[in-house]
Structure 1
Amino acid sequence: MTITVTSATRQLYIYQLLASGAHLSKKDIQRKFSVDARTVQRDFASIRNFMSEYLNEYELEYDTKDHTYYLKSNRLGLSKSQCLVLIKVLLASRSLSRKELDPLISSLLALLTQQDQKDIKPIIQSELDGYVELRNLKDKQLLAAIYTFSKIILQRETITIEYTTQRHKFVTRTIAPIALTFSDYYFYVVSYNHQFKKNTIYRLDRILNWKYATHKIPLNERLPFDLGDEKKKFQLMYPGKMITIQFEYTGIVEAALDKFPISRTIKKIDDHTFLLEVTTYDTGALMWFLSQKDMVTIVNPPEFRQQMKETLYAMLSNYED
């Protein structure tokens, strides 16, 4: 018995393939349904009119090079370049374990057409094969934790955490999480600590367990924290005392200014030396300055210059025989 395929069935079939990212030629449909070119042209025209009226976030496009039709998204999904940038950032950040990274990249690629996936995979394959996960993150489920703590922050909850410090000491803290951020490989939870009466920073992967606290920290006791503003001052996620530092620099000026968002060039001293000024927290700043070898000379303030000298003397003493 011959089954007659209606135009509606044919058009639904065409749309389903287009929605999955396929590029279709009129000849593909002619062979599939044994219809002429005019019929297929009417099918594509009907689909274009339907999307124009009901699904205007998509457009039916024609590739003159391959002579195929495909769907182009105006607002939904990712472009090939957007997807590539996201994957590159994920790989460079080393912020996830391999178990979480691979499925995430696969999910991002699945948003693209098959041809776009083929274009991107060779670009990322070398980095993906050579990806080295951080030892501390190997067995961590960070994606779920990031979502959970984001909800806790929005709901202004108070929780009690079991935490391992950087000195490998096990502690219990009752905190009110107020912000979640990422810096230098790791995610951090900024929280108000009622015991210490200040905002403290906890690395998310070091939080072993958590539970809702018996007593809430009142909202009026919590200290304000502007993540956008504070991120400009943190270096390596170390807090400390707010300070404005002037220093002579012989390195790449743009790199130093980018490292410290609140910064400026005061003057050019000679062809290789500039006087720069930054406003930041002192602890992380000191660590960065020490990483710059002899390219940095602290000028002001005198107490920070002295702290730099004392740290250098202490470092030198480690190498005295």
Structure 2
Amino acid sequence: MDNTKQERLLEIFFRCLRGESLSVQKLADEYDLSTKSISRNINDLKAFLADHRELVGNTELVYSSQERSYHLYMDEFLTNKELFSLIEVMIGARVFSREELLTLTNKLKGFTTASDRPILNDLIKKELYHYSEVKHDCDSVQETLWKLAKCITEKREITIEYYRADRAWKTHRLRPASVMFTDNYFYLIAFNTEGTTDKPLYFRVDRIKYITEHRKFFTTSDAPEFDEGLLRQRSLFMWPGKLRTIQFEFTGSAIQAVLDKLPTAKIIERNGRTYTVEADVYGDGIKMWLLSQGWRVKVTAPEDFVEEMKKEIRRMKENYDI
């Protein structure tokens, strides 16, 4: 096969990868060749894909009689409906800057079919226009995440310069353990290098302004093993605190929303529309969520947590003339 033909086949293939639908007639006009020559090129590509399934998987060039063109079908890649779902999740999360979101969205849209791309554009254009990102202190969430991920993999100690929730500027030397996403934010979970070294600390990635990577590495024995899945089940809003089993009564029709919010929750009793729920939770984030449910929730156990809720409600009452 001559070099010119090889280059043409590669170019046609990469155009398919970018999501283009390719018409034999248009390709013939572009390359100043006969339609028969282009058809032979298409057949060569189809034969290559069929003969090398161990490399490309179930990938083939499919002809659409309606569009009179070929497009690339990849069984293991994302379908149009999957792409739409992912883009909707990214928009709803609000975690990326507008520029990052548009870049990611445009790359994903490149893999939709030519016929479905206008539909996708129409579905998301208003959401993209009104997109409001979570405000960031770091220059790029993606860059910061990737730097943290590499340090976690290498088990490299780092120092972060960080804005706390009260906007106080703090410096921490850490052993990074994991990154997680929940409730609109990415979080770094890490352990101190000095003092209390076995207690996990949570830092919002978007508030990390600078990261210094040190030459010192740590081992598994230096930092406790960390179960991200268990933390995700038990912790709300990534607030620190102890693990405890709580019980509360919930009155209303949205009990499924409660169970969805608290993965460890289970109904232990029901009396009409009042459900007694038990859950294992970390930290004080659960208190914020329970208070947000208003009169629908009454905490019943443990006693120290009941007292915490009463104290918080009394403080709330002082804010109003009741």
Scaled by the length of structure 1, what TM-score is found? 0.86
Q: CA deviation at 1:268?
A: 1.9
Match of 1:263 in 2: 265
Match of 1:177 in 2: 176
Over aligned residue pairs, what C-alpha RMSD do you find?
A: 2.7
Instruction: Kindly indicate whether residue 34 of structure 2 is the aligned counterpart of residue 49 of structure 1.
Output: no
Q: CA deviation at 1:45?
A: 3.6
**How many percent identity over aligned positions?**
29
Q: 1:188-231: CA deviations, max 9, x gaps?
A: 11111133332211111222222234755564232221111111
1:19–1:217 distance in 2 versus 1, CA, 3 Å:
closer
Match of 1:287 in 2: 288
Give distance in 2, aligned partners of 1:159 and 1:34.
59
**Number of aligned positions between the proteins:** 312
1:282–1:42 distance in 2 versus 1, CA, 3 Å:
closer
Q: CA deviation at 1:114?
A: 3.3
Q: CA deviation at 1:51?
A: 2.0
Q: CA deviation at 1:266?
A: 1.3
Match of 1:3 in 2: none
1:314–1:21 distance in 2 versus 1, CA, 3 Å:
closer
Q: Is the 8 A contact 2:164 2:170 kept in 1?
A: yes
Q: Is the 8 A contact 1:249 1:273 kept in 2?
A: yes
Q: 1:158-214: CA deviations, max 9, x gaps?
A: 112222222222222111010111122221111111333322111112222222347
Give distance in 1, aligned partners of 2:311 and 2:80.
52
1:43–1:222 distance in 2 versus 1, CA, 3 Å:
closer
The farther-off stretch of 206-215 and 154-163 is 206-215
Give distance in 2, aligned partners of 1:205 and 1:175.
17
Q: Is the 8 A contact 1:157 1:212 kept in 2?
A: yes
Match of 2:79 in 1: 79
Alignment of 1:1-321 (within 5 A): 15=13, 17-28=15-26, 35=34, 43-54=41-52, 56-57=56-57, 58-75=59-76, 77-134=77-134, 136-137=135-136, 140-193=139-192, 194-197=194-197, 198-213=199-214, 219-251=220-252, 252-270=254-272, 272-320=273-321
Q: Which runs of 5+ in 1 are unaligned?
A: 1-5
Does the residue aligned with 1:236 lie in a helix, a strand or coil? coil
1:172–1:54 distance in 2 versus 1, CA, 3 Å:
same
Give distance in 2, aligned partners of 1:215 and 1:19.
43
Does the residue aligned with 2:116 lie in a helix, a strand or coil? helix
Letter in 2 for 1:65: Q
Q: Is the 8 A contact 1:97 1:138 kept in 2?
A: no
Give distance in 1, aligned partners of 2:181 and 2:316.
30
1:277–1:51 distance in 2 versus 1, CA, 3 Å:
same
Q: Is the 8 A contact 2:61 2:73 kept in 1?
A: yes
1:304–1:112 distance in 2 versus 1, CA, 3 Å:
same
The farther-off stretch of 261-270 and 66-75 is 66-75
Letter in 2 for 1:247: F
Give distance in 2, aligned partners of 1:31 and 1:221.
65
Give distance in 2, aligned partners of 1:265 and 1:54.
53
Q: CA deviation at 1:139?
A: 6.3
Give distance in 2, aligned partners of 1:230 and 1:290.
22
1:12–1:188 distance in 2 versus 1, CA, 3 Å:
closer
Does the residue aligned with 1:231 lie in a helix, a strand or coil? helix
Letter in 1 for 2:291: L
Q: Is the 8 A contact 1:97 1:140 kept in 2?
A: no
Q: CA deviation at 1:132?
A: 1.0
Give distance in 2, aligned partners of 1:149 and 1:102.
23
Give distance in 1, aligned partners of 2:65 and 2:114.
18
Does the residue aligned with 1:318 lie in a helix, a strand or coil? coil
Larger CA Rg, structure 1 vs 2: 1
1:11–1:240 distance in 2 versus 1, CA, 3 Å:
closer
Q: 1:8-34: CA deviations, max 9, x gaps?
A: 898677656545433344554676757
Does the residue aligned with 2:190 lie in a helix, a strand or coil? strand
Give distance in 1, aligned partners of 2:205 and 2:293.
29
